[in-house]
């Protein structure tokens, strides 16, 4: 029996990277999965991968920075599968690598809109639905940038610190209702986002691996599948006494 056998899971930003790996892992561990992303092609590809592997999944396009679209997404989960047990709020953007004093206001608004406001809106809608079910488990995607600073990434750092703060608050407010809320803080993971950050930071002078591998004490960047393992475990009954945690999964990065 899988870790989340018979559960219903929602994963945002599931068209690629960590989100896709998480949706696949939920399905492999016995959950039915609602896949969401602003990228319809990527999201539908994720669903196809789950179906081809014998799982059950559906797709809905949604912009997490829109309260209306988030509410419609959670409603769609319930209409399709009957309830909501697990949620992974993964949708996020990196923004531009620019020193703080020169950061465009539009970049700040965009990053905070998806990463912070988007997580807030998803939490609201998911918690309200889980209250009807009598409980559930949520994992928010923060970052090591939610634990420490990164020069040039002030909006991203601010947004991920916000995610970690909201995680603690939600855990305190809804723990007695059987709703667990945790966040994870990945280090460098082999995704398009990391490629974008490495490209911006080095101006294309170094590959992602050349730039990022040496920064991690374990000697390499991580794989999306490694992050997915933690997310699904945190949503499972095996993590029943864990809530309000901001869990690093970073190859030792923040231990330095």
DSSP state at residue 115: I
From the candidates 108, 156, 174, 253, which is the catalytic residue? 156
Grouping H, G, I as helix, E, B as strand and the rest as coil, residue 222 is strand
108 is known as an active-site residue = no
Q: How far does CA 73 lie from the centroid of its chain?
A: 16
* Integer angstrom CA distances of residue 85 from 10, 76, 80, 132: 8, 14, 13, 11
Distance, CA of 63 to CA of 148 (rounded, Å): 28
Question: Which residues partner with 35 through β-bridges?
Answer: 11, 59
Give the count of beta carbons closer than 10 Å to the beta carbon of residue 190: 18
CA nearest 188: which of 97, 250, 232?
250
3-state secondary structure 180-221: EEEEEEECCECCHHHHHHHHHHHCCCCCHHHHHHHHCCCCCC
One-character DSSP codes across 220-249: S-B-HHHHHHHHHHHHSGGGTT--S-EEEE
Catalytic positions are 156
């Amino acid at each position: 029996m899988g870790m989340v056998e018979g559960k219903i899971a929602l994963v945002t930003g599931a068209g690629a990277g960590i989100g896709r790996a998480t949706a696949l892992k939920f399905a492999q561990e016995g959950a039915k999965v609602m896949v969401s992303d602003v990228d319809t092609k990527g999201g539908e590809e994720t669903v196809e991968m789950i179906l081809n592997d014998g799982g059950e999944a559906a797709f809905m396009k949604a912009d997490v920075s829109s309260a209306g679209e988030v509410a419609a997404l959670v409603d769609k989960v319930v209409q399709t599968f009957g309830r909501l047990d697990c949620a992974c709020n993964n949708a996020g953007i990196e923004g531009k690598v620019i020193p703080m004093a020169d950061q465009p206001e539009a970049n700040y608004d965009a990053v905070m809109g998806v990463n912070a406001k988007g997580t807030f809106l998803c939490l609201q809608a998911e918690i309200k639905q889980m209250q009807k079910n009598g409980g559930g488990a949520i994992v928010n995607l923060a970052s090591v940038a939610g634990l420490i600073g990164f020069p040039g990434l002030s909006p991203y750092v601010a947004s991920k610190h916000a995610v970690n703060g909201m995680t603690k608050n939600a855990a305190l407010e809804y723990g007695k209702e059987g709703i667990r809320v945790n966040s994870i803080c990945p280090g460098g993971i082999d995704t398009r986002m990391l490629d974008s950050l490495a490209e911006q930071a080095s101006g294309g002078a170094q590959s992602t691996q050349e730039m990022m591998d040496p920064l991690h004490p374990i000697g390499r960047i991580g794989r999306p599948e490694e992050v997915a393992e933690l997310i699904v475990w945190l949503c499972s009954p095996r993590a029943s006494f864990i809530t309000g945690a901001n869990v690093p999964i970073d190859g030792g990065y923040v231990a330095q």
